[in-house]
Structure 1
Amino acid sequence: MTLQKDRSQKPTPGPAPDGARRTNPKPEGASRSGWRALLTWRWLLLGFAVAGFALTEFARHNPDWTETVFSRGVYPALSSAVAFLPSLLPFSVAEWFVVAVMLGVTVYLALSVRSILRARPRAKGHALVKAVAGLLGIASVLYFAFVMLCGANYYRHTFAEQSGLEIRESSTEELTQLCEGLAADMTQARSQLEEAMAAEGVATLDEYAAAHGGFAAYADGAVGAVSALASRYPAFDRPLFSPPKPVLASTLMSYADIAGIYFPFTVESNINTSGPFFPLPATMAHELAHQAGFMREDEANFIAYLACTNADDALMRYSGYSLAYDYAISALRKVDPEKAAAISATLSDAVKADRQERSRFLAQFEGPVAQMSNAANNAYLQANNQTDGTRSYGRMVDLLLAEARGESLSDELLQE
């Protein structure tokens, strides 16, 4: 009987002839390896960009959904969760986040260049594609995080709509009366500060602030002032406000003409501390308004004014009135410079001295860096539903005028 070999088993190859190299047979499906390379994690991360863009476009065209579901539902819970750990630290995590990202990208680029240079000639293109896909993947994740922690809120209902303030054209006389009222309120707050400073034996506002707990105390005060707005405006009700943080690189921020930055990736309000202290409480409240989901600059300014001027601390009230007066008098100066000058002349000597000190500080940082920073900020605002760019800051005056007219809805209607 003849035995047949099992044809299902492959014969064991014999030794290769001397001097010859054995080559392994090409694996089945190797021709599809190029397609498999396109499905690595680098390319899959691009899905985050698609999701972020889709959410942005949906939010843009559905403001009711954005306000109700995202800005008052998803965003407060998500941003509070992200903010929790950074809020426990006394320093700005955002600064170190930026440094870490910059170092990480630098290392990634260096390793990618090395990989491309070491690759075989036919594989250099594949290595380049992988490197580019990796960068795009990182950018996609960051973009998605930006949309979830900041960007979609640009398309919510405006604060004017939520507060019932009627924005309309106003006369020069109304603007003049607004400036006169703000000048009087600012002077009164400064007078109260002078009395307190005399009683406590301090000579400057910076010393007064230090005697009352310094940056940390006013950061907590700003959180309290903005949180208190929730009693009238429910949109400010959120699980957590992360206290504002001082920035180590404050001098660099001054050169860039930046007073504060809301950093969405850590949900932190970062404050430039290199100048006089009295504008800081309003800056803190402004950045906390962003943290509450109000991204429009004019609205954040107005919210800061509301929060600070209703605070118990005289320095916070002075800061809020100073912020509002800056914008109102600037608007009046454009339409009636003589009236603006006359109102400015009524300010107390102490108020004038404070404003001159701040002007001297800011003047030393004027230059091309500030101009480029403002241009970049203008482009950012225009890309995020603020089509007037930095000119949208001037709209705060319309909100101030509307509030001065008292044409807001009752608290009962606002709660509904």
Structure 2
Amino acid sequence: MKNKLRIKGTMIAFAFIIVLFNHILKIHPQIVEKYYSNSINKLTRQVLSFITGIFPFSVAEFLVFFLIILLILILITLIIKIRRGGFLEQLLNIIVYLSVLYILFMLLWGFNYNRLSFDKIAGLKIQKSSEKELYNLCDSLIKRSNTLRVRVKENSQGVMEISGGYVDILPRAIKGYEKISAKYPQLSGKYGPPKPILLSEKMCYTGITGIYIPYTGEANVNISVPDFEVDFTAAHEMAHQRGFAREEEANYIAYLACTNHPDLDFQYSGAIMALINSMNALANTNMTDYKQLTAKYSAGVKRDLEYDYNFWSKYEGKVQKVANNVNNNYLKSNGEKEGVESYGKMVDLLLAEYRK
């Protein structure tokens, strides 16, 4: 009994130490980058990803359900203990359970939130940008999207479509990383392929297009979304798999992986997703300029964006709002906050690249 209590106490104490250590590392990104992200954690991520990559399905999807069921059982036991005695012991078990999950999360991936920001790695200068610069960026992305759109396939409804769907898309996603890892070795390495999520259609109600699970090292993709989003989402989750935890940086890395990809569907996916983000920023800044630029969309781009809007409209509701709140709180807890002069980190990175 004493040994069990000692072990439980040790796990809880270790979790508190990790919390303290995490706060210290926030002010030492160079140390995290050198000794964690690009050394021991990179090896850990690759080994985990290699092992789970053997399976054609998402191991993480089953693991998540197992962990949720386990937590529910622990909570039910806690309620029973309230009536029959042993409440404090069971409460301690819950704290230990959560402590172990936290410790594993941080050791397997979580400290990557403290690594060098990608703009420093890429040599890009983030600065306050004018509305004119944002306008020019959007105009450039519209031209690129229009040009690429006429070279990709579409279905009978005139919407961009990829023959073979996700089965064709996911194995090809690595090609973009093979191209950009020559310039950014931090993105190199051998990892398992992105995995389709079995409950993708249900996942749409949360508004989530993909998820990276550190416990298995898998990049998981919602395959029910429009095809051009599947390409980008796969590249986005693969950025997390390579140790880039911040969402907006993963978006920009996905853009790089897609636009440098040898296949046109990925190039178009990267361009139109960058366009959506940039135009959203412009709409929040200058609606007149926004409306003026939307008139430049090609017929194909308009159809794709309308289809995407209508697709997500079907899933709007309370579940999505709750999921967004949970995700936002999670991101804020890991320090993902942008300054008041920011258009959003991805757009800031696109602007920095545009200027360069």
TM-score of the superposed pair, with normalisation by structure 1? 0.79
Partner residue, 2:26: 60
Give the letter aligned to residue 217 of structure 1.
D
2:94 corresponds, among 114, 135, 147, to 135
1:186 aligns with 2:140: no
Partner residue, 2:220: 270
Matches for 1:99-138 after TM superposition, within 5 Å? 99-110=65-76, 124=85, 127-138=86-97
1:160 aligns with 2:126: no
Give the letter aligned to residue 312 of structure 1.
P
**Secondary structure of 2:5 counterpart:** coil
Matches for 1:7-406 after TM superposition, within 5 Å? 36=2, 39-110=5-76, 124=85, 127-194=86-153, 205-206=160-161, 208-210=162-164, 214-238=165-189, 240-388=190-338, 394-406=344-356
How far off its partner does 1:346 sit?
1.4
Distance change in 2, residues 1:298/1:393 (3 Å): farther
CA–CA separation in structure 1 for the residues paired with 2:327 and 2:335: 13
Which range is displaced more, 45-54 or 175-184?
Answer: 45-54
CA–CA separation in structure 2 for the residues paired with 1:77 and 1:45: 24
Distance change in 2, residues 1:61/1:170 (3 Å): closer
**Secondary structure of 1:248 counterpart:** coil
**Secondary structure of 1:269 counterpart:** strand
Identity of aligned residues (%): 34
Distance change in 2, residues 1:202/1:224 (3 Å): farther
**Secondary structure of 1:45 counterpart:** helix
CA–CA separation in structure 1 for the residues paired with 2:258 and 2:110: 26
Deviations 1:162-185 (A, max 9, x none): 111011112222111111110011
How far off its partner does 1:364 sit?
1.1
Give 1 or 2 for the bigger CA radius of gyration. Answer: 1
How far off its partner does 1:241 sit?
1.9
CA–CA separation in structure 2 for the residues paired with 1:223 and 1:55: 34
CA–CA separation in structure 2 for the residues paired with 1:400 and 1:261: 23
CA–CA separation in structure 2 for the residues paired with 1:192 and 1:291: 30
CA–CA separation in structure 1 for the residues paired with 2:62 and 2:209: 19
CA–CA separation in structure 1 for the residues paired with 2:352 and 2:148: 22
Q: Which runs of 5+ in 1 are unaligned?
A: 1-32, 119-123, 407-416
CA–CA separation in structure 1 for the residues paired with 2:65 and 2:328: 24
**Secondary structure of 1:261 counterpart:** strand
How far off its partner does 1:226 sit?
2.2
Deviations 1:379-399 (A, max 9, x none): 11110011349x988221111
TM-score of the superposed pair, with normalisation by structure 2? 0.92
Contact 2:159 2:300 in 1 (8 A): no
CA–CA separation in structure 2 for the residues paired with 1:306 and 1:96: 31
Give the letter aligned to residue 176 of structure 1.
Y
How far off its partner does 1:143 sit?
0.2
Distance change in 2, residues 1:375/1:107 (3 Å): closer
**Secondary structure of 1:262 counterpart:** strand
Deviations 1:203-257 (A, max 9, x none): 7533x331xxx3233222222212432210121123x222111112222321111
Contact 2:179 2:261 in 1 (8 A): no
How far off its partner does 1:296 sit?
1.2
**Secondary structure of 2:244 counterpart:** coil
Distance change in 2, residues 1:369/1:116 (3 Å): closer
Q: Which runs of 5+ in 2 are unaligned?
A: none
Distance change in 2, residues 1:63/1:283 (3 Å): same
CA–CA separation in structure 2 for the residues paired with 1:165 and 1:293: 19
Contact 2:196 2:221 in 1 (8 A): yes
Contact 2:159 2:304 in 1 (8 A): no
CA–CA separation in structure 2 for the residues paired with 1:116 and 1:362: 44
Deviations 1:267-300 (A, max 9, x none): 1111112221111111111111111111111111
**Secondary structure of 1:205 counterpart:** coil
Contact 1:190 1:351 in 2 (8 A): yes
**Secondary structure of 1:278 counterpart:** helix
Distance change in 2, residues 1:202/1:327 (3 Å): closer
